[in-house]
């Protein structure tokens, strides 16, 4: 019963009242007794956490935990694109008909995601990857390649869920939710990381405004379960190397540029 209640709390809809209650409860020291139950309910691998469970003073602190430095190794070869997060690679492929891709029966337009046709044009006929971070996952995001941050901006104001239910029955949350977009210029192509907020507009946190992007570097985190859309510019010598959708970790190779 306690597990079911906890899961229901974490997986609440985007209602502003319920999400506000969840936000304040999870950040309170009163939530500390829930950490053990949370960890067991979601089968958290505590062996790779930076600190033991008892170190965290609130459910929120535990949710946004760091990992041990050696927990997520990655390929340092510059031509290899790596996963920016843990979670589920729920979809990937080419951006079709120049500007569209489909997830859970919904067709999305990159023009709507970027809310600017000129900005979106960089990624027409390119590649997209969708990473869903559940309550069980490590919630930090890392740079998938070396490069320079050339744009960083926020769009949207809503906060609907981005889990399977939200994607299936929601109002295209990738086009409407609050999202923080970071665009990188690499030695090969431009990349865009679209970090989609869930439950509240403050759910995406960045560490700094530095323009240096170092492959594998942790540069922010989600306060609640969320999603990352990664776009690779069109017209390039890039191809996906990952073979199937499913569980993925930060640093796992997902694609490669031809030399």
**Which residues are known to be catalytic?**
86, 142, 226
CA distance 235 to 48: 39
- What residue has token string 């990952």? 242
Is the Cβ–Cβ distance between 56 and 113 less than 8 Å? no
CA distance 224 to 10: 8
CA dihedral 194, 199, 202, 206 (to 10 degrees): -40
Query: Taking CA 228 as the corner, what is the angle to CA 55 and CA 68, rounded to the nearest 5 degrees?
Result: 30
Between the CA of residue 258 and those of 11, 78, 81, 244, what are the distances in Å?
Answer: 41, 11, 11, 21
- What residue has token string 């759910």? 203
Please enumerate in sequence order all residues whose Cβ is within 8 A of that of 162, keeping only pairs 6 or more positions apart, or say none.
132, 173, 174, 177, 196, 198, 225, 226, 227
């Amino acid at each position: 019963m306690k597990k079911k209640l906890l899961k229901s709390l974490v997986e609440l809809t985007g209602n502003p009242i319920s999400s506000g209650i969840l936000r304040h409860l999870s950040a309170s020291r009163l939530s500390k007794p829930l950490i053990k139950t949370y960890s067991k309910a979601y089968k958290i691998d505590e062996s790779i956490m930076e600190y033991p469970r008892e170190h965290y003073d609130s459910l929120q602190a535990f949710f946004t935990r760091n990992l041990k430095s050696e927990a997520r190794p990655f390929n340092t070869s510059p031509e290899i694109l790596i996963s920016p997060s843990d979670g589920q690679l729920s979809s990937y492929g080419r951006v079709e008909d120049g500007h569209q891709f489909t997830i859970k029966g919904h067709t999305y337009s990159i023009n709507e995601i970027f809310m600017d046709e000129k900005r979106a044009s960089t990624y027409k006929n390119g590649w997209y990857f969708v990473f869903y971070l559940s309550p069980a996952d490590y919630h930090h995001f890392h740079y998938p390649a070396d490069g320079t941050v050339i744009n960083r901006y926020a769009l949207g104001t809503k906060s609907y869920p981005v889990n399977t239910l939200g994607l299936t029955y929601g109002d295209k949350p990738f086009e409407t939710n609050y999202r923080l977009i970071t665009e990188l210029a690499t030695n090969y192509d431009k990349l865009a990381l679209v970090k989609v907020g869930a439950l509240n507009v403050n759910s995406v946190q960045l560490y700094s405004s530095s323009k240096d992007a170092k492959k594998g570097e942790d540069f922010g985190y989600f306060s609640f379960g969320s999603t990352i859309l990664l776009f690779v510019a069109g017209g390039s010598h890039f191809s996906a190397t990952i073979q199937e959708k499913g569980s993925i970790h930060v640093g796992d190779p997902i694609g490669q540029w031809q030399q």
